[in-house]
Structure 1
Amino acid sequence: MERHFHFLTIFLLVIFIICPLALPQSQESTDILAKNSYGVIIITAWDNSQNVVGEGTGFIIGENIILVPYHIVSSASEAEITTNSGKKFRVEALVAADPKYDLAIVRAKGKFEFLTLESGATLEKGARLCALSEINNQVIITEGQLRDWLELSPGIRVMDIAMTLEKVACGSPLFNPQGKVVGLALVLEQGVKFGVSLEPILAMNRFAKGTELKAIKKENYFDTSEGAYLAGKAAYLLNEPGLATRYIEKYVKLKPDDFEAYLCLGRCYYQLRNFNDSYNNFVQALRLKPDDPQVFYGLGLNFLAQRKFKEAIEQMEKAVANKIDSKEIYFELGSAYEELQDFPKAAENYQKYVQSQPQNPWSGWLKLAQAYQNSKAIDQAILAYKEAIKLKPDDIKSYYSLGQLLAAAGQYAEAEAAFKKLIEINPKDAVTYYNQIIQMYDRAGDYEKAIEAVKKIIEINPKNEVAIYNLAIMYFKLNKLEEAVKALNDCLALKNDYTYAWYNLGLVYNKMNKHPEAVEAFKKYNSLAPDDPNGWLNIGLEYMLMKNFEKALPYLEKSVQLKPDNPVAQFNLAITYLNLHDNYSAQEVLKVLERLDKSLADRLRKLIK
């Protein structure tokens, strides 16, 4: 029994997962489905050879009157409807058609209960809608909403609907939450779907005698100018450029003087990155309207995408001169000028962009700040970065650039505040930001402030030998030599082969007049960096300061051997020779010094005499 129970549990779980239709619907949708499914039909149309030329959905709007997509019956000789109950009825006549919207009213033999209609003209964005369609002999309801109205041409608009509909649902009725039909859904290829409001439907003569299907003029609706335009323009507005180009190319062959069609083609091919066809269609549009700013803008974007910045600027400046109604064009112009490194012109256009009050101005302020920064207009760049930060308070890039600019401008307190804000926003990179503070105060000569930042890094990681090394350097610059020695020894305790720490330890001991200790530090440095002439030179100098010229000599000679063109090393080597009573060698060094440094050579000459 227990094994049988577990089997049933697993079986029911699988059924639940694979049955999306089990998801709950709103009560309104449930009521609409229950009360209106009778009004949904399936229509199938045939030509003279009994080939199926169209099939889809329709709905009953009168006693024997059905609304269907026109393209289903436009090339048909006969058609049949199937009701929700499964009964079939012959279509007697095409009563009326409106090809602008792909609408047709047909009359069927029989009497039917019809749906309640209501104007959809007043529907607003976000209005809830649902569609009834028949799939696998079952009427289903799909919920969605009106995204927006799309204007195909002046006075002709359709609905952008957000709902999932299959191709077979083309012709489905669209209901408002009150259960009244407000439109018809059209579903084309690639999921392009939109709704037609009832206004053109209500304007059609539903009571005309009509024409038998076999007697109507046969046409493939989407090969006509009306059908190609409706499908192409709708696909264009619904951001399906591939489908749009296919239909609009058909349309312009039938209507070669339609400016709007060429403009749409130019834009669609641009989206598809087919810049050659995009350019050619924009040129055709200019043939019809030589001063149209939208065409100039389209050409400018085309060139910009190809990184032809001078050509892009030329076209977009023409668009501006012809009073284009666009905010974004100033951003695009700024980008083009920036690519040409004309930063003042870039800043000028980014300024116009942010002044136009675009919907999302942050990117404009950021680009304006960068253009000012590249133009060396530091004060304006600082102000622009501050505006960007107001709009995006947690933007790391803006704060970082602002901090650097404030530091460069000598506004150290504000710069420190910017870097500390970055530490709050992005604590994982706190060391980087504290290092910026250290470098800033180091350049400013405020070593106490630099030490505060260094100590913060050491708090984060007490074993950070670089931070401890930097602490020693700051102490050295403050002439706090004992503290510097301690910090350097702490650093070397963590990393005994830290060459720069040994070198600077030698310099600190030198300044403390602890020459033997300095010698040992420089020797350790030498063992780690034997090819650096400075290590050898400093050991020689320390021995000279201790007046031990014999020990100094080999180190100075090695330094000169490694870097013969160092006049300071050559001079001190000569001094060592003189102290060892080797005037000949000093004279030889003098010959070298005369080529390297006349001033030091004159000094040495006097000492030799």
Structure 2
Amino acid sequence: MMKKGVFVILFFVLLGNSMSVLAQTEPEDIAMATDEYQDSFYESLKQKGIENYDKAIVSLEKCIKLKPNDAVAYFELGKNYFFLKQYSIAQSSFEKATQLDPKNKWYWLGIYDVSYETKNYPLAIETIQKIIPFDEEYKDDLISLYMLTNQYDKALSTINEMNDKFGKSDDRERYKLQILSQGKYQNSEIENLITQIKQNPKEESNYVDLIFLYSKNEETDKALDVAKQLAKEIPNSEWAQVSLFKGYLDANKADQAIKSMNVILSSSKIDSKIKHRTLNEFLIYVNKNPQYAPDLEKAIAYFDNDANVDVAKEVGKFYHSKGQYENAIKYYEKDLKANSDTDRETNLLLLEAYTQAKQFEPMTKRAMTMIEVYPSQPQFYYYAGLGSNKLQQFKNAKTVLEMGLDYVVDDRTLEANFNIQLGEAFNGLGDAKKKEEYFLKANELLKQKK
């Protein structure tokens, strides 16, 4: 957030008939040189205080006539013109004040106020650079101006400089995120963070920022290397658990790995990609050590509200690919219950797993339900027909397969499978002629596919 120069209440010190301005104090801390000057100056302040800026200007012009080289009067004149939104005259007045007293930051801040108000950002940058020698914290204003003028290289460099000297601030971190959303600046920031870690190995935020950048760039191995370094330097860090988890898992220290994993998955600080990778590594471990399946169940629960990935579904696919259909079914059903019960892909995966596990009753029931949801999707008719045949409900199989066959388009394999199941249905109904007819048709379709 830009500080912006502000006009503040000033006070006066009378020292006989001479006026003195204390070094780098506010410009109204003055003593009047003459009674006439003093009366006019106080009148200008009174009129400004009640927002009679025109009358205040008249009084200040008298002051300038009495003392043509009085920087304070020019500064006050600039403020009144500023309040009247006569920015050009205000700027000229402030510039005159800086010419007469270039070492007073308040006069430069007057020019800065005008340049900012009129969106003359090049002048604002030039002016703020003259103010910074008086007060280095005005570099935060400079960062804001660099952001406004899309000078992101300079902004990033100044942000890092200020963070290093004064510590991080919310505004600077927000600006940095905005800059780093543009990939071309990420390499320079990575180099900066590596340097910062070398210089300040106990500062956790630098490790976290570097892990975040590597994760965003899909460089997960590098992110884990940084987490390992963090674990060495700051073992109590939540991010350190990422490295510790992997070490425990590799050493087959399951209880300690599970403890670290739960810290990772429950953390609000750790990136979701790292969490998904952690879960995947534990899933592979559980596949070889099934006694830890209950811990996997608890881990998956952390992702129940994950809008980006259906974790239970992905776990189901993992077990499906390993031929562990019972486990696949459990996780597909869990996913459908937690998310959309009518998700087409998950239902098809579940029906295939039911088939492989020979669970024909739940398969047939779900396929019939999905026909109501997707009445033109032939796959659901096929599974309903297959299940009915396996349950020796041949009449139902015949009916649903004949209905679904009408929806098969440009898929010879599926069409052949429909004909095979129709042959099975007619065989069960005792119609050998029809059975042979459908089996021959299926055979022809499979030959065409080759």
Instruction: Give the equivalent residue in structure 1 for 2:365.
Output: 554
Whether the 8 Å CA contact 2:244–2:257 is kept in 1: the answer is: no
- In structure 2, C-alpha distance between the alignment counterparts of 1:488 and 1:266, rounded to whole Å: 78
- In structure 1, C-alpha distance between the alignment counterparts of 2:224 and 2:301, rounded to whole Å: 37
Does residue 415 (structure 1) correspond to residue 231 (structure 2)? The answer is no
Please list the CA deviations of residues 518-559 of structure 1 after superposition, one character each: whole Å capped at 9, or x if unmatched. Answer: 556655666666735466545432331145545522212324
Of 151, 154, 163, the residue aligned with 2:23 is 151
Deviation at 1:255, TM superposition (A): 0.8
Whether the 8 Å CA contact 1:469–1:488 is kept in 2: the answer is: no
- In structure 2, C-alpha distance between the alignment counterparts of 1:151 and 1:259, rounded to whole Å: 15
Please list the CA deviations of residues 393-441 of structure 1 after superposition, one character each: whole Å capped at 9, or x if unmatched. Answer: 76554442222124445333552156548955xx5xx44x2577699x9
1:510/1:417 CA distance change after superposition, 3 Å: closer
1:343-358 matched pairs, under 5 angstroms: 345-348=151-154, 351=157
- In structure 1, C-alpha distance between the alignment counterparts of 2:127 and 2:264, rounded to whole Å: 61
- In structure 1, C-alpha distance between the alignment counterparts of 2:37 and 2:416, rounded to whole Å: 108
1:457/1:221 CA distance change after superposition, 3 Å: farther
1:223/1:275 CA distance change after superposition, 3 Å: closer
- In structure 2, C-alpha distance between the alignment counterparts of 1:511 and 1:574, rounded to whole Å: 22
1:387-426 matched pairs, under 5 angstroms: 397-408=205-216, 410=219, 411-412=222-223, 414-417=225-228, 419-420=230-231
- In structure 1, C-alpha distance between the alignment counterparts of 2:22 and 2:264, rounded to whole Å: 64
The letter for the 2-side match of 1:402 is: L
What's the secondary structure of 2:291's corresponding residue? helix
The letter for the 2-side match of 1:531 is: D
Instruction: Give the equivalent residue in structure 2 for 1:124.
Output: none
- In structure 2, C-alpha distance between the alignment counterparts of 1:541 and 1:521, rounded to whole Å: 14
1:372/1:498 CA distance change after superposition, 3 Å: closer
Please list the CA deviations of residues 295-321 of structure 1 after superposition, one character each: whole Å capped at 9, or x if unmatched. Answer: 7874444564x6x7xx1414225659x
The letter for the 1-side match of 2:414 is: L
What's the secondary structure of 1:150's corresponding residue? coil
1:396/1:335 CA distance change after superposition, 3 Å: farther
Instruction: Give the equivalent residue in structure 2 for 1:206.
Output: none
The letter for the 1-side match of 2:154 is: E
Deviation at 1:577, TM superposition (A): 2.4
Q: Which has the higher helix share?
A: 2
Whether the 8 Å CA contact 1:385–1:402 is kept in 2: the answer is: yes
What's the secondary structure of 2:354's corresponding residue? helix
Instruction: Give the equivalent residue in structure 1 for 2:426.
Output: none
Deviation at 1:338, TM superposition (A): 1.8
TM norm structure 2: 0.54
Please list the CA deviations of residues 25-79 of structure 1 after superposition, one character each: whole Å capped at 9, or x if unmatched. Answer: xxxxxxxxxxxxxxxxxxxxxxxxxxxxxxxxxxxxxxxxxxxx967xxxxxxxx
Does residue 338 (structure 1) correspond to residue 147 (structure 2)? The answer is yes
Instruction: Give the equivalent residue in structure 2 for 1:99.
Output: 18
For structure 2, the residue ranges without an aligned partner over 5 or more in a row are: 1-12, 268-273, 305-309, 420-440, 442-450
Please list the CA deviations of residues 256-296 of structure 1 after superposition, one character each: whole Å capped at 9, or x if unmatched. Answer: 665733664489789xxx86669476334268599999878
The letter for the 2-side match of 1:490 is: D
Whether the 8 Å CA contact 1:275–1:302 is kept in 2: the answer is: no
Instruction: Give the equivalent residue in structure 2 for 1:474.
Output: 281
- In structure 2, C-alpha distance between the alignment counterparts of 1:408 and 1:463, rounded to whole Å: 18
- In structure 2, C-alpha distance between the alignment counterparts of 1:373 and 1:496, rounded to whole Å: 32
- In structure 2, C-alpha distance between the alignment counterparts of 1:414 and 1:494, rounded to whole Å: 23
Does residue 375 (structure 1) correspond to residue 182 (structure 2)? The answer is yes
Whether the 8 Å CA contact 2:368–2:381 is kept in 1: the answer is: yes
What's the secondary structure of 1:99's corresponding residue? coil
Deviation at 1:253, TM superposition (A): 4.0
Does residue 604 (structure 1) correspond to residue 414 (structure 2)? The answer is yes
Instruction: Give the equivalent residue in structure 1 for 2:430.
Output: none
Does residue 255 (structure 1) correspond to residue 60 (structure 2)? The answer is no
What's the secondary structure of 2:154's corresponding residue? helix
Whether the 8 Å CA contact 2:74–2:97 is kept in 1: the answer is: no
Deviation at 1:474, TM superposition (A): 1.9
- In structure 2, C-alpha distance between the alignment counterparts of 1:363 and 1:472, rounded to whole Å: 32
- In structure 2, C-alpha distance between the alignment counterparts of 1:285 and 1:296, rounded to whole Å: 11
For structure 1, the residue ranges without an aligned partner over 5 or more in a row are: 1-68, 72-96, 102-148, 153-157, 161-188, 195-217, 233-240
Of 81, 90, 108, the residue aligned with 1:282 is 90
- In structure 2, C-alpha distance between the alignment counterparts of 1:224 and 1:482, rounded to whole Å: 91
Whether the 8 Å CA contact 1:296–1:315 is kept in 2: the answer is: no
The letter for the 2-side match of 1:150 is: L
Does residue 589 (structure 1) correspond to residue 394 (structure 2)? The answer is no
- In structure 1, C-alpha distance between the alignment counterparts of 2:331 and 2:164, rounded to whole Å: 63
Does residue 458 (structure 1) correspond to residue 266 (structure 2)? The answer is no
The letter for the 1-side match of 2:404 is: V
Please list the CA deviations of residues 75-98 of structure 1 after superposition, one character each: whole Å capped at 9, or x if unmatched. Answer: xxxxxxxxxxxxxxxxxxxxxx54
Does residue 487 (structure 1) correspond to residue 297 (structure 2)? The answer is no
Deviation at 1:378, TM superposition (A): 1.7
1:592/1:488 CA distance change after superposition, 3 Å: farther
Deviation at 1:381, TM superposition (A): 1.0
- In structure 2, C-alpha distance between the alignment counterparts of 1:489 and 1:359, rounded to whole Å: 46
| Count of matched residue positions in the alignment of Structure 1 and Structure 2 | 366
- In structure 2, C-alpha distance between the alignment counterparts of 1:353 and 1:464, rounded to whole Å: 32
Aligned CA-pair RMSD: 6.2
1:158-557 matched pairs, under 5 angstroms: 219=35, 222-223=38-39, 251-255=60-64, 260-261=71-72, 264-265=75-76, 279=87, 282-285=90-93, 298-302=110-114, 304=116, 311-316=119-124, 319=127, 324=130, 326=132, 332-339=141-148, 342=150, 345-348=151-154, 351=157, 360=165, 373-376=180-183, 377-386=185-194, 397-408=205-216, 410=219, 411-412=222-223, 414-417=225-228, 419-420=230-231, 427=236, 430-431=237-238, 433=239, 455=256, 458-459=259-260, 473-477=280-284, 481-483=287-289, 485-492=290-297, 510-511=320-321, 513-516=323-326, 519=329, 531-533=341-343, 536-547=347-358, 549=360, 551-557=362-368
Whether the 8 Å CA contact 2:313–2:346 is kept in 1: the answer is: yes
- In structure 2, C-alpha distance between the alignment counterparts of 1:263 and 1:576, rounded to whole Å: 91
Please list the CA deviations of residues 491-530 of structure 1 after superposition, one character each: whole Å capped at 9, or x if unmatched. Answer: 5479999978876775565455454565566556666667
- In structure 1, C-alpha distance between the alignment counterparts of 2:232 and 2:75, rounded to whole Å: 47
* Bigger Cα Rg: 1
- In structure 2, C-alpha distance between the alignment counterparts of 1:353 and 1:496, rounded to whole Å: 39
- In structure 2, C-alpha distance between the alignment counterparts of 1:291 and 1:100, rounded to whole Å: 19
Deviation at 1:347, TM superposition (A): 1.7
What's the secondary structure of 2:19's corresponding residue? coil
Q: Which has the higher strand share?
A: 1
Instruction: Give the equivalent residue in structure 2 for 1:143.
Output: none
1:389/1:371 CA distance change after superposition, 3 Å: farther
Whether the 8 Å CA contact 2:329–2:353 is kept in 1: the answer is: yes
- In structure 1, C-alpha distance between the alignment counterparts of 2:242 and 2:415, rounded to whole Å: 48
What's the secondary structure of 2:23's corresponding residue? strand
Whether the 8 Å CA contact 2:79–2:90 is kept in 1: the answer is: no
Deviation at 1:453, TM superposition (A): 11
The letter for the 2-side match of 1:99 is: S
Deviation at 1:589, TM superposition (A): 3.4
Whether the 8 Å CA contact 1:378–1:405 is kept in 2: the answer is: yes
